[in-house]
Amino acid sequence: MKTDKPREIALKILNGQGKRPLCHENDPEALFQLYGLNERDRAFVNKIVQGVLRWRLRLDWIIRQFSAFSLKKIDEDILNILRMAVYQIFFMDRVPESAAVNEAVNLAVSIKSPRHVISFVNGILRTVCRSRDEIRFPDREIDRAQYLSVFYSYPGWLADKWIMEMGGDSTEALFSAQNRFPDINIRVNTLRISRDALIESLTREGINAGPLAWSPQGIVLEGFRGRVDSLTAFKNGLFQVQDQAAQIASHLLSVEPGDMVLDICAGFGGKSSHMVELMGGKGQVVSLDNNKERLIKSASNAERLGMKNILPIEADASMPLSSLFKCKFKRVIIDAPCSGLGVISRHPDIKWNRRDEDIPRLAAMQKRFLNAAVSVVEKGGELLYVVCTVSREENEGVVRDFLERNSDMSLVNLRKRAPEWCQDLIDDQGCYRTYPHIHNMDGFFAALFSKGE
């Protein structure tokens, strides 16, 4: 039986979630190329995959109401077929219910499912269609945590955690905001073009581009679902893909032309390249990471942007850095590995890959990175700590521990240092903090430390 290729690919990707390393059987880009998918089909696949990942718990709740079997007894590929169909039925208005059901049955046939399993898929989905207005969710008044967990599709531990830390209303607003498909944010390469000129260039390519609300170098590509790397402006090195919250964080270090900056845990080099731009191309950024592949990609990206003053170094940032560098740095930034709970809107799989016990483990790692970095900060120099999470243990908890262990370091009140245009993003402790449901950007935290003379 002929199957719908985009749905078949979506199923392969969902079946491969959590399996590393990726191979051609579950790597999205490899599958797109193998099947020769056009941009429209790619967008359809991405929407289904991202949608199922965002709403998995809610989809399972619905399936469970019509299944005579525990979900644990349903094979993973069949469960993902059901999830895909239920997602289309409830969240994709342009897909007729009959098409969602029929294609799910076709997929079940294509993977050589037994006849009773095919009937099971068909029966559940047709019942869902008939009874969609009768779905019942946990009572919001009796158990708000369970309601928020199921209705917004978040693990129960996270609902409990956020309700305790920020209250029920804020948790609900945060969950809702992080379930939205985010627009792509980019940062203009100011060494080559102005923001206004880039917006004009993108508009000529048929992109709905406009300035971001906060970042002076930021542009939003509204509704864009194509491949960014296919745009002429990208190929010409005119911009870098980067969320607004990350763009703003780089401004907090107040780099100047001629500075030598150390970027610890540099990853793919987004902040490294931004530092070069903020220095007007006059200065040096040492980009340190323990992953060689990331550094290679960072170097390639720097070449695309036309930046030659980024020096990649492969090293473990948790070890004493004074043994690696003979010099000290006036400016140091640590974009530390974290839970990523502030970027769930862009990476919904984080919801299911994180556990409550991960938080203290990651906080301990962040503390090691910060403590190791102190030795390479010169007297009077500054150290910026950045994480893309809204977890207290990884934010103010890490700051408090760091200050207790390093008497020569003090917290800088960013209200006295941050640019005027981002003052509303500075909290009462003088730290940078953003929330998806309040600021319409990723959840970030940053604290700036100064080393005594």
Active site amino acids? 388
Sign of CA dihedral 402, 278, 304, 29: positive
Could you tell me the two tokens for 401?
A: 């521990």
Q: Which residue has the tokens 């003979």?
A: 326
d(CA 63, CA 156): 18
- Give CA separation, 342 vs 51, 215, 256, 338, 435, in Å: 18, 18, 29, 10, 7
* Furthest-apart CA atoms within the chain: distance in Å: 77
Nearest Cα residue to 267 out of 241, 288, 248: 288
335 forms bridges with which residues in the sheet?
A: 386
d(CA 53, CA 87): 10
Length of the chain: 453
HSE toward the beta carbon, residue 73, CA cutoff 13 A: 7
Nearest Cα residue to 409 out of 418, 420, 400: 400
Strand bridging mode 329-335 / 377-387? parallel
Single-letter amino acid, residue 231: L
Nearest Cα residue to 12 out of 62, 77, 95: 77
- Give CA separation, 99 vs 11, 67, 79, 84, 296, in Å: 16, 21, 18, 12, 44
- The DSSP code for 103 is H
Residue 320 and residue 248 in contact, taking contact as beta carbons nearer than 8 Å: no
Could you tell me the two tokens for 88?
A: 């289309």
d(CA 304, CA 322): 32
- Which secondary structure element, helix H or strand E, spans residue 239, and what is its range? strand 239-241
Single-letter amino acid, residue 229: D
Beta strands per DSSP E along 271-342: 284-289, 310-314, 329-335
Distance, CA of 203 to chain centre: 26
How many beta carbons lie within 10 A of that of residue 45, not counting itself?
24
